[in-house]
Chain A
C-alpha cells in the first residue's frame, strides 16, 4: 500500500487491475485504492510478472503493506512504494525498489480503466459489479449509475459488509465510504497533517510584490494565436517560474526525513486543488522545470480534472517536492501557507490586482501579485528564501524565457 502523502496511514483496496501470471510494466496501474482523498490508481514500481495478490478486495490495510508480489523483476520486487514518509509509516516491507518513475509509461495492453463517474464506481463496488464488464451508455462510453444497476440486476444481492479480518478471496467488497464520510475522513487527514506541520516545522514566512504586467501582456498575446483548447492561464507561468527559481535554491525543493534534508529527485510541484465538495488535495505535476508552458497547462488541467473526479495516480500524491497554492481567485491578497510535511516549503500566490507602482520615479498602475514563501527553518534561512522570491519575480518579468 503506497503512501499517498503524509496524511494517509491506510487505504482500502477496491479493485485489482492485474491477475497472477500477468506481465506488468513499471508505472502501470495495478490496483485502485479508496482513501480519504478519493479513489486513487496505484502504479507498480517495478516491471515483472505477477506472482501473487496478497490483499483481497475490500480489505483496509496500513501504508507499507505488500499488496502483491512480482517475479522476474529485479530482486524480489513488490508492488509497494520505495519510500514511506517518516513517522507515519512502518518500515518498507521489501528490498528497496528503484525510485518512482518520473513519467508514467505508455498505457499497457490491459486496457484503460473504464470511464465511470465516481458515483457509478461507488455503486459498482456496493453491488459487486466488475466495471470492466459494464457497457457504458454515457458520453464517450462513460459508465453511469444506471448502467451499473442494469449490470447488477441478474446477479445475487450484494453480500453483507466484510469482516475486519477478511479471509482469502473470493472477496466481499467492503462498502466504499459515502461522500459525507469521505469528507469527514479527508478533514481528519488534513487535520493530522497540518497539526504535524505546525508542531514540527519551524516555519518562516516571506512575501514579495511582483509586477505581473509583462507576464500578463505576453499571455494575452499568446492566447490570441492559441486555439481555445491550448490557452494558457497565469498560474501556468507562475508554476513554471517557481520550478525554475528552485534551481537557485534547491534547499527549498525536497523533504525533511529522519532529521535531515533530502533533496527532491526532481522538481515535482504539488498544486493545491480545492475539491468542489470540500477538502483539498495537492497532486504533483512532475518535472515542471523541464516542461513547456503548454505542457504545464495541459498537465494542470488534467490533474485538476482528475482530482475533482477522484481519479488521481499514486505517484501524483506521493511525489510532490514542494507545493504551490493560489488562492487569488477568491480575492485573497496574501497566502500564509502551512507546509505539507515532509516537504520543506510552500509557495503562495494571491490575487493579481491593479496597484500604484513606481517605475523610474514615476507612478504607474500595474497588475501586482503578492508571492509568499513559507519555508522550513531547519533547512533554509530567510536570506535564501528571499533569494528564491527575487528569482521568481525576475523570471516573471521575462515570460518569453519560461
Chain B
C-alpha cells in the first residue's frame, strides 16, 4: 500500500470520528488529539477504525507513535499486512 493510500485511509477514519473538522488545516506533524479535540474514546475509535481499514492492530504501547498524520503513515506503512493478504 502506498503512503498516499495510507494517508487517505487515515483521513477517512479521522473524518468519521470528527466530521466537522477541516482535515486540510491539520499539518502533517500536528498533534491530532489536540488539533481535532480527540478524547481517549475518540482515539480508541481511531485505532479501531484503522484496524478495520488497514488490518493493522496497534498495541496500546504504540499509540503515541500515531499522534500525528506523518507518524500514522510511517507506522502503518511499516506494519501493514502484505499486499497479498486479504
Q: List A contacts of B32 (CB < 8 A).
A: none
Judge whether B37 and A231 touch: CB under 8 Å.
Answer: no
Q: List A contacts of B59 (CB < 8 A).
A: 224
B57 in contact (CB, < 8 A):
yes
Q: Whole-angstrom distance between the alpha carbons of A233 and B47 in the complex? A: 13
A301 in contact (CB, < 8 A):
yes
Known contacts being A220-B60, A276-B20, A277-B20, is A228 close to B41, with CB within 8 Å? Answer: no
Nearest A-chain residue to B47, judged by Cβ? A228
Interfacial residues of chain A within 253-280, with CB under 8 A of chain B in the complex: 276-277
Q: List B contacts of A360 (CB < 8 A).
A: none
Interfacial residues of chain B within 52-67, with CB under 8 A of chain A in the complex: 57-60
Query: Smallest distance from the beta carbon of B33 to chain A beta carbons, Å?
Result: 9
Judge whether B41 and A223 touch: CB under 8 Å.
Answer: no
Q: Whole-angstrom distance between the alpha carbons of A203 and B55 in the complex? A: 50
Judge whether B57 and A227 touch: CB under 8 Å.
Answer: yes
A235 in contact (CB, < 8 A):
yes
Judge whether A229 and B48 touch: CB under 8 Å.
Answer: yes
A44 in contact (CB, < 8 A):
no
Judge whether A300 and B41 touch: CB under 8 Å.
Answer: yes
Judge whether A233 and B44 touch: CB under 8 Å.
Answer: yes
Q: Whole-angstrom distance between the alpha carbons of A304 and B57 in the complex? A: 22
A interface residues, tally (CB under 8 Å): 17
Judge whether B60 and A223 touch: CB under 8 Å.
Answer: yes
Interfacial residues of chain A within 299-356, with CB under 8 A of chain B in the complex: 300-301, 304-305, 329
Instruction: Give the contacting residue for A301; candidates B18, B41, B58; CB below 8 A.
Output: B41
Query: Smallest distance from the beta carbon of B21 to chain A beta carbons, Å?
Result: 8
Query: Smallest distance from the beta carbon of B3 to chain A beta carbons, Å?
Result: 22
Q: List A contacts of B57 (CB < 8 A).
A: 227-228
Q: List B contacts of A235 (CB < 8 A).
A: 40-41
Nearest A-chain residue to B40, judged by Cβ? A233
Judge whether B51 and A228 touch: CB under 8 Å.
Answer: yes
Q: Whole-angstrom distance between the alpha carbons of A224 and B58 in the complex? A: 10
Nearest B-chain residue to A119, judged by Cβ? B19
Q: Whole-angstrom distance between the alpha carbons of A72 and B52 in the complex? A: 46
B45 in contact (CB, < 8 A):
yes
Q: Whole-angstrom distance between the alpha carbons of A233 and B39 in the complex? A: 11
Q: List A contacts of B58 (CB < 8 A).
A: 228
Q: List A contacts of B41 (CB < 8 A).
A: 233, 235, 300-301, 304
Query: Smallest distance from the beta carbon of B37 to chain A beta carbons, Å?
Result: 7
Instruction: Give the contacting residue for B18; candidates A276, A304, A305, A329; CB below 8 A.
Output: A276
Q: List A contacts of B47 (CB < 8 A).
A: 228, 231
Q: Whole-angstrom distance between the alpha carbons of A220 and B60 in the complex? A: 8
Q: List B contacts of A224 (CB < 8 A).
A: 59-60
Q: List B contacts of A305 (CB < 8 A).
A: 45
Q: List B contacts of A301 (CB < 8 A).
A: 41, 44-45
Residue of A220, A228, A229, A305 with most chain B CB atoms under a 10 A cut-off: A228
Interfacial residues of chain B within 3-48, with CB under 8 A of chain A in the complex: 18-20, 37, 39-41, 44-45, 47-48
Closest 8 pairs between A and B when the two form their complex, measured CB to CB: A329-B39, A228-B51, A228-B57, A223-B60, A233-B40, A304-B41, A229-B48, A228-B48
Binding site for B on A (CB under 8 A): 220, 223-224, 227-229, 231, 233-235, 276-277, 300-301, 304-305, 329
Q: Could you jot down 8 A-B contacts, CB within 8 Å? A: A220-B60, A233-B41, A235-B40, A235-B41, A276-B20, A277-B20, A300-B41, A301-B41
